[in-house]
Amino acid sequence: MKKNKFLFLNSFLLFFLIISCTTNFPKNDLFKEYLYLKKYENFSNTFINENLQKDIHLVMKNHKVPYGVVIISDVKDGRIVAIDEYSQRGYNYGKYINKPLQAASIFKLITFYAALSSNIYNSKDSIKYYDRMYSELRNYLEKRNKTRFYNKTSIKNAMALSNNAAFAEISLKIKKENIIKSAERFFFNRTNIRGIETGYIDFPEDSLKLIKLASGLDDSYMSPLHALLITMIIGNEGKLCLPMINKNDTKKVLDIIDKKMAKEMLNSISLTTRLGTSRKTFSKDLNIASKTYAKTGSIYATDPDGYYNWFVGVYDGEKSRYAIVVLTVNDPEWSVKANYIAFRSIELLNKYEEN
């Protein structure tokens, strides 16, 4: 009798704890939902695919990523199916996932949108440029004015190879105000969207500052969660289905940019995994490569200190379309590229979410 009573009390306490956790689960605040998820490791009442989440964590852990974050969402309905951080350095979770960090060449997407909305360039157009592809642009304006020699590329190839000089040239054809407006359109305005602290830009004071901003070399900042919003907009024909972890979150869709422009932006990053900066890693599976649209970026920065490696991409699955954001911050003596973590995450996405 006493044993049955003891078992009943234990069962009741367990039930009470589960109900309490579910009741206290934050709602309509993505960052708080993530912190809660990491604290309690309770996947009930969430959209998280537990197996996918755990295996992505193992990939980062097994490769001893100094700092890494992976976020995967369904662009069509906003479900976040995986969101995790790992730090060999021992950073607390949540410290950097919602903090604006150097955006690097991901900002080239914003520059291209400014060109599109100004009716100056589309992804099929070609452009002349007057410096090395990966120049830091210190002397670009001088070279542009003095030399008759130039290189030529398509916008698509410039995006795929992350050509700094080409994007410097694009920015000089656009009014500075249009780049600023485009940045604001994609939430580089220090706002809060469902708990996501969006990033910002430092306004360019002169032409040198402008070309460095437009090329992603300086003055643009976004968090991994902000990067997710940008990627979801591009991947969902200009609409943003606000991302959700909690199944009780309120579903909401925002119209951000024109459908045609979103398709053109997606088209502009269609070569990255086949001919561009992600080619080597994605050549391991040409089927995945053909279904993945991506932009990469890298830069040395601080807090966290190291070499930042970004991957923002859209993957066309059989069941749905997914936004994938990966950031790795590496040490001089040890590095793991975001390309690789993204590729492995897509393999796991196919295994657990798409099967």
What is the tens place of the pLDDT at every residue in 274-285? 999 999 999 999
Task: Say how far apart CA 239 and CA 237 lie, in whole Å.
Answer: 6
pLDDT of 22 over the 80 cut = no
Nearest alpha carbon to residue 113 among 160, 206, 178? 178
- Number of neighbouring beta carbons within 10 Å of residue 13: 10
What is the pLDDT, as a whole number, of residue 4? Answer: 53
Task: Say how far apart CA 222 and CA 310 lie, in whole Å.
Answer: 11
What is the pLDDT, as a whole number, of residue 7? Answer: 47
Mean pLDDT taken over the chain = 93
Task: Say how far apart CA 37 and CA 20 lie, in whole Å.
Answer: 14
Question: What is the widest separation between alpha-carbon atoms in the chain?
Answer: 96
Write the CA distances from 44 to 47, 48, 152, 166, integer angstroms: 8, 9, 53, 48
The residue extents of the domains of the chain are: 27-87+96-352
Task: Say how far apart CA 67 and CA 327 lie, in whole Å.
Answer: 8
What is the pLDDT, as a whole number, of residue 10? Answer: 55
Say what angle helices 108-117 and 259-268 make with each other, to 10 degrees: 130
Is residue 257 very low, low, confident or very high in pLDDT (cuts 50, 70, 90)?
Answer: very high
pLDDT of 346 over the 70 cut = yes
CATH code for residues 27-87+96-352: 3.40.710.10
Amino acid (1-letter code) at residue 139: N
Is residue 244 very low, low, confident or very high in pLDDT (cuts 50, 70, 90)?
Answer: very high
E-strand stretches of the chain: 67-74, 80-86, 101-102, 126-129, 151-154, 192-193, 196-197, 200-201, 220-222, 239-241, 253-255, 292-301, 306-316, 321-330
Is residue 134 very low, low, confident or very high in pLDDT (cuts 50, 70, 90)?
Answer: very high
Q: Spell out the residues 6+ positions from residue 248 whose beta carbon is closer than 8 angstroms to its own.
A: 25, 27, 45
Is residue 23 very low, low, confident or very high in pLDDT (cuts 50, 70, 90)?
Answer: low
Stretch 10-16: mean pLDDT, rounded? Answer: 49
pLDDT of 94 over the 60 cut = yes
On whether the pTM is more than 0.85, the answer is yes
pLDDT of 246 over the 90 cut = yes
